[in-house]
């Protein structure tokens, strides 16, 4: 996969992460004070911190999970595994990553996960 594509996705994910934190801070004053207590939006590493993540999950589960997915994708960029399916290790198509930059599963594995049990 081309490095320029990874760079582009990293930038996109970083922006998404920042916007998500801003949105959550604006929506919820508890969250805002938590972020401020941790040193502000730019330095905060909520998804890597289990206690903070639990608090955040209590405030907004959906956004908390999204933030964690974004962080996972960023750490996969840093260890060179971005764009590879977590389950089958196949490459995730660029179109899919452009649509959802934090996807960690290819379409087949994602569908298999959403429909547990018999195929
Ligand atoms: Zn897969």
Residue 2 has pLDDT above 80, yes or no: no
Asked whether the CA dihedral 44, 48, 52, 58 is positive or negative, the reply is positive
> Would residue 105 count as lying in a domain?
no
Q: Which domain holds residue 69?
A: 3-84
Question: Strand pairing partners for 25?
Answer: none
Q: How far is the CA of 17 from the centre of ligand 1 (A)?
A: 25
In this predicted structure, what is the pLDDT of residue 77?
Answer: 94
In this predicted structure, what is the pLDDT of residue 118?
Answer: 57
> Would residue 110 count as lying in a domain?
no
The tokens describing 58, both together, are 């209590």
pLDDT tens digit sequence for 82-93: 999 999 999 999
Whether the Cβ atoms of residue 106 and residue 85 lie closer than 8 Å to each other: yes
> Would residue 79 count as lying in a domain?
yes
> Would residue 90 count as lying in a domain?
no
**How far is it, in rounded angstroms, from Cα 22 to Cα 67?**
12
pTM > 0.85? no
> Would residue 108 count as lying in a domain?
no
Q: How far is the CA of 60 from the centre of ligand 1 (A)?
A: 29
> Would residue 98 count as lying in a domain?
no
> Would residue 111 count as lying in a domain?
no
> Would residue 94 count as lying in a domain?
no
Residue 66 has pLDDT above 90, yes or no: yes
Q: How far is the CA of 57 from the centre of ligand 1 (A)?
A: 27
User: Structural domain tally of the chain?
Assistant: 1
């Amino acid at each position: 996969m081309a490095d320029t594509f990874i760079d582009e996705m990293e930038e996109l994910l970083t922006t998404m992460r920042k916007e998500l934190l801003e949105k959550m801070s604006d929506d919820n004053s508890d969250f805002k004070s938590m972020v401020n207590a941790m040193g502000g939006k730019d330095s905060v590493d909520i998804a890597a911190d289990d206690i903070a993540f639990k608090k955040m999950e209590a405030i907004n589960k959906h956004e908390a999970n999204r933030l964690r997915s974004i962080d996972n994708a960023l750490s996969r960029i840093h260890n060179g595994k971005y764009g590879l399916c977590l389950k089958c290790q196949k490459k995730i198509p660029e179109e899919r990553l452009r649509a959802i930059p934090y996807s960690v599963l290819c379409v087949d594995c994602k569908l298999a996960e959403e429909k547990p049990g018999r195929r």
